[in-house]
């Protein structure tokens, strides 16, 4: 059936459009174009509605345990196979900025895998904690931001708290 493949493609496309529009909104804000920024954020929110609808049609009603297992498998795939290959390619092609971007993501996906594994182990015993994310590399940490990011070396002011 084509539809299953189409749902996957549409989910990927809508998800990308969402992140792209949010980045474009930030850029518009910097260019002092608040009306354009707001339009990008509105369209981004709508693309999220589309993406979530496609995903729920694809997956049906999955449980949180299944979702954690899926998330863990995705992170493991990224740091064990996807990013190592991309890092090797970027090195071979001396694509320095891409190399740095892949390396940061690669390290942080390992951290995400550990966090998801812990969540799977603890489930309802997982404490409700504050999480902090490094805006340079995405390093993700519970409780408190470190003085210095262990992945990219950025200082504490570069961490934002997740709502």
**Between residue 134 and residue 163, which ones bind Fe ion under the rule CB under 5 A?**
134, 136-137, 139, 149, 151-152, 154
Tokens at 85, concatenated: 């290959």
- Contact between 120 and Fe ion by CB under 5 A: the answer reads no
Q: How far is the CB of 32 from Fe ion (least distance, A)?
A: 27
Q: How far is the CB of 163 from Fe ion (least distance, A)?
A: 18
Q: How far is the CB of 21 from Fe ion (least distance, A)?
A: 10
Residue 34 vs 38, nearer CB to Fe ion? 38
Count, residues in the chain:
163
Residue 83 vs 90, nearer CB to Fe ion? 83
Is residue 14 within 8 Å of 21, Cβ to Cβ?
no
Residue 21 vs 90, nearer CB to Fe ion? 21
Q: Tell me the three state secondary structure of residue 155.
A: strand
- Contact between 47 and Fe ion by CB under 5 A: the answer reads yes
**Between residue 86 and residue 115, which ones bind Fe ion under the rule CB under 5 A?**
109, 112
Alpha carbon distance 75, 148 (integer Å): 24
Piece of the chain touching Fe ion by CB under 5 A; list 11-19, 30-38, 56-64, 79-87: 11-19
Q: What's 84-151 look like in SS3?
A: HHHHHHHHHCCCHHHHHHHHHHHHHHHHHHHHHHHHHHHHHHCCCCCEEEECCCCCEEECCCCCECCC
Piece of the chain touching Fe ion by CB under 5 A; list 25-33, 37-45, 53-61, 74-82: 74-82
CA atoms within a 13 Å half-sphere pointing along the CA-CB vector of 57: 14
Residue partners of 149: CB distance under 8 A and separation at least 6: 134, 136, 137, 139, 155, 158, 159
Residue 28 vs 152, nearer CB to Fe ion? 152
Number of residues that bind Fe ion (CB under 5 A): 14
> Using CB under 5 A as the criterion, which residues of the chain lie in contact with Fe ion when the complex forms?
14, 47, 50, 75, 109, 112, 134, 136-137, 139, 149, 151-152, 154
């Amino acid at each position: 059936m084509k539809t299953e493949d189409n749902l996957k493609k549409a989910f990927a496309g809508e998800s990308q459009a969402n992140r792209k529009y949010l980045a474009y909104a930030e850029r518009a804000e910097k260019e002092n174009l608040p009306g354009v920024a707001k339009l990008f954020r509105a369209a981004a929110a709508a693309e999220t509605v589309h993406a979530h609808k496609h995903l729920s049609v694809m997956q049906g009603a999955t449980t949180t345990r299944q979702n954690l297992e899926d998330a863990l498998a995705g992170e493991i795939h990224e740091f064990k196979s996807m990013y190592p290959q991309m890092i090797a390619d970027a090195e071979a092609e001396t694509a320095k900025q891409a190399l740095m971007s892949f390396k940061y993501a690669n390290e942080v996906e390992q951290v995400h895998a550990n966090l998801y594994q812990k969540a799977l182990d603890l489930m309802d015993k997982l404490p409700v904690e504050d999480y902090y994310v490094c805006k340079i590399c995405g390093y993700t940490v519970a409780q408190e931001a470190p003085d210095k990011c262990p992945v990219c070396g950025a200082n504490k002011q570069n961490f934002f708290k997740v709502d």
